[in-house]
Structures are given as C-alpha cells and as structure tokens.
Amino acid sequence: MSEKHISNLVASNIARSGDLSGYYDALDELEKQNQNLASFTAGLDGDTRNRWPTLFEIVNGKTVAPLDFWSFYQFMRDDQRAINYLDFWIDTVQHLNLCKIYVRGLRTSLARTSHYRGAEMINEYIAQSQDDLKVNAQGADVTLPNVPQHHNRDSHASSRDSRSSSMLLDLLMRNSLLENSDPHRLSTFLRGEAAVRSSDPAVNAKIDEIKRRSMVANGSGSSAGGAPLEYSDPNVRISMINPDMVEALIDHEAQRSMDPSVNVRHGHITRRILRESSQTIMAKYFSKESERYIQFTPEIINKVHDALELNGRDDPEVFDEAREFVFKVMEYDAYPTFLIKYALRNVTDRSAFFRLFASAACAFAGFWVGYYLIFYDDGPAHLRGVVTLPFFFMAYFFFSAFYHVDPLLSAFGFTENHLSFFHPIKIEDGYCKGLLRKRALFVLLFACLVAAALSVLFGLVPGHRLSH
C-alpha cells in the first residue's frame, strides 16, 4: 500500500475472530432487512467456485477460509499495517445497523400505538352508543343499569384528538415513512427530509402540535420539521417529518394511554446513541490528533465535519463518500496482495524461512553422502541411490519455500495458519483449493526432476578411492 494511505500500526478493534461476532450480527441484520443485498449475493453463490471472490463479498462475510473476513482482517493488520481502514468499515456498518434498529423501534412503537388507538376508538364508539341508548331510554322512562355518566365536553375534545392522532398514525404507516430496508430512505428520514401529504385540517393541526412538542423536548427554537411545502392543490399540505417529531408523538400517545407498553423503545437504541456513534467515528478516524486517523481527502473531511457539527446529522449517508474512499483503497492496494498471499499460497513467510534452512541441511547431507560414496568407493554402485532421499527433501523444501506452496498440505486441503504454525486451516473455498493443487503438482514435479537429476549425476560418476 502506498505511503500516502498507510496508517501507523496501532492496536486494532479486533483481537481474535470471536470479537467479530458483533460485526457478523450487524451483517446478518442488514441482510434480513435489505433484500437488494440478499438477491445480489444469492445470484453469486452459484459461480463462486469458478472465480475469485470480490472484496465486497469478503467484507460482507460471504466467503470461506482461507479468503474469509477474519483472514482479510489479519492481513490488513499484520501485513498491510493499515487496519484503520477496515476498522472504519466495520464501525460504519455497525452504525448503519444501529440506525436501522432505531427506526425499526420507532415503527414498532407506531404500530403498537396505532393498534391501541384503534381499540380505543372502538371503545369510545361503544360508550357513545350506550349514552345514546340511555338518553332514549330515559325519554321512554326505562332504566338501563351501569351506563357510564362521564362523557362531557372534555371527553368529546379528547375523542377528536384521539381521532386525529389515529389518522396521523395511519398516515405515517401507510406512507412507509419508517422504512429501514432502503438505506437512502432511512437516511432521508433521519435527516428530517421525509414528507407526508394531507388535506385533513385535523391531521395538519396534529402535525403542528407534535412539531411544537418535539421543539420543547429538544430545547430547540427552530422548526423541528421545517415549514410546510406548497402544493398545487391549496387544500393539500406537505409536511416534513423527522425522528424527533415521531418520538414526541409516540411519547404523547404513551402518556395518554397510561400504558407504558405502548412505547417499546425503552431500553433500546435511542437518537442519542446514534449521535454518539457518529461522533465517535468522526473523532476516531477524521481527527488528526487521533492515533486511528485516516488520511482522507480534505473534501471528505470537511463534508463529514459540516454534516455532523453544523447540520447535526447522524444518518448513515454521512459516511458514504468516506466508505467508498476506504473501499477503493483496500480494493486497489490490499486486495490483490491478499489473494496472492492467502489464495495462491499455503505456506507462510515464517514457514518459508525455516524451510530454506531445512533445504540447506538436506543439501549438505545429500552432497556429503554422495561425495563420501564416490571418494571412498566402499560399496556397489547402486548404493549411491540413497542420495535421492536427501536431494528430494532438499528440492521439496526449497521449492515449497520459493513458491510458498506445500504439495502435501495441498493434497489434504490445508493451508498454514498465519497466526499459529501448529494449527493449519482447512481450505473450504473450492476454487482456491483447485488452483493450489495445480501449483502443488508443479512444485512436486519440479522437486522430483531436480532430485532425479542430482541422483543420476552422483550415480554415474566413477568411484575413486582416496589413498593416504
């Protein structure tokens, strides 16, 4: 990787493969909610045996050993020494998942509130019908037992407010305002740019009310949802809805219902957590004082800073341009080298170093035995064939170190572990396994040819006993 893009080697976020469970959980959650990604990966599953996996598949956990995400993480940390790039990718994926969970919690609360409001309106209708029956019964001098007496002007006002709330809830649900399967629509909602269209004065008044409530709750003097937009029909108004307004509506309805189970967001992801997550990412990777600082372009840094600090955004699209920058750096600088070291090789650099020593030792043994049999000429000529064994191991260790391919490991479908020499990894990628076996066959053939040539050479040299 070029010096411009290399970050200082610091302690990474992940120490072992088990620490990636949170990232994998986030990927699983995103895949469940994003059908586009699911259909994309489903279309690729059938042909992964005949091609290399893409970097997108690797970072999204769609590959197996030795090209799995944990192997790529080790490579970025230990070989490229640019783990900050991959840690940034992981953090932004988890931030996107937090945003989806937050919006899903709002949608669940809205659905439960809408269901409660529907039941409440039915009860009010039944109560009103009983009142009407009571009035008719009193006019006919008939007594009806246990008929409620508490409906007055306040109850009628409450009923109107309940109906307007129910209509607004239904409007929000029908417009799929809290759709979290589409990242763009998710970000639009979190930015407060989602809009609903209504011609009902009661609904518009309710929107204005929750807008004021959200402004009071957040201590904001500005318009929380923005001014209503003009529409060609003068009776129709387009209102901007943001998460604070939805929270205000849910909290208000929960207080009215006196049922805390209506608001199911308690103990789950809140907007404050989203803001803290986005601020943490900016402080960790965009601040020059941070040891995890990534050398983004000034344009990207300024855009992220303005979006978070000036505009108060925390939606996932804030980091989209930075994510694309990081992905391209990894794809062009790290990904090709990763394929060479982890897919086309099953011998590590450390193992290759020891194999060269073993090759030198075998070479010394082979030449010593060969020259001994030549100059002492003690036995029959076919005895010189014993040099084949040390020469074979000499060539085997040398070429396996030179090409970083071990034929024996390839035959059994294993590759050496870059972290532990004594714990080889089983190769699960079929395409990688096939290429390694082809390269292993070449290495084995080359080793046999060299061993045979040296054995024939020492076997054909006439013996000459040295005399004292």
Q: Greater confidence, 186 or 32?
A: 186
Does the structure show a pLDDT above 70 at 82?
yes
DSSP helix/strand/coil, 229: strand
CA end-to-end span of the chain: 63
When mean pLDDT is compared over 14-18, 121-125, 266-270, the highest value belongs to: 14-18
**CA 66, CA 312: separation in Å to the nearest integer?**
42
Taking the CA of residue 307 as centre, how many other CA atoms within 13 Å lie in the half-sphere pointing to its CB? 25
Q: Per-residue pLDDT tens for 116-125? A: 554 444 444 4
Q: Are strands 425-426 and 194-198 parallel, antiparallel or unpaired?
A: unpaired
- Under CATH, what is the fold of the domain 3-96+273-335? Regulator of G-protein Signalling 4; domain 2 (1.10.167)
pLDDT category at 249 given cuts 50, 70, 90 is: confident
The answer to whether residues 162 and 124 touch, using CB atoms and an 8 Å cutoff, is yes
Tokens encoding 85 = 């790039």
Q: Greater confidence, 126 or 372?
A: 372
Of the candidates 13, 23, 29, 85, the residue with the CA atom closest to the CA atom of residue 335: 85
**CA 232, CA 197: separation in Å to the nearest integer?**
12
**CA 384, CA 445: separation in Å to the nearest integer?**
22
Q: What is the mean pLDDT of the chain?
A: 77
**CA 143, CA 134: separation in Å to the nearest integer?**
8
Q: Greater confidence, 209 or 66?
A: 66
Does the structure show a pLDDT above 80 at 203?
no
CA dihedral 287, 293, 299, 301 (to 10 degrees): -40
Q: What secondary structure letter does DSSP report for 313?
A: -
Does the structure show a pLDDT above 50 at 41?
no
**CA 241, CA 194: separation in Å to the nearest integer?**
6
Q: Per-residue pLDDT tens for 271-307? A: 889 999 999 999 999 999 999 999 999 999 999 999 9
Of the candidates 207, 203, 205, 177, the residue with the CA atom closest to the CA atom of residue 191: 177
Q: Per-residue pLDDT tens for 375-388? A: 776 666 667 788 89
Q: Break the chain into its structural domains and give their ranges.
A: 3-96+273-335, 100-269, 349-460
Does the structure show a pLDDT above 80 at 311?
yes
**CA 228, CA 38: separation in Å to the nearest integer?**
37
| Among the ranges given (207-211, 312-316, 442-446), the one the predictor scored with the smallest mean pLDDT | 207-211
**CA 116, CA 112: separation in Å to the nearest integer?**
6
DSSP helix/strand/coil, 425: strand
Q: Greater confidence, 176 or 447?
A: 447
pTM exceeds 0.85, yes or no = no
Phi, psi of 239 (to 5 degrees): -115, 140
pLDDT of residue 383: 74
Size of the chain in residues: 468
3-state secondary structure 295-313: CCCHHHHHHHHHHHHHCCC
Phi, psi of 81 (to 5 degrees): 55, 45
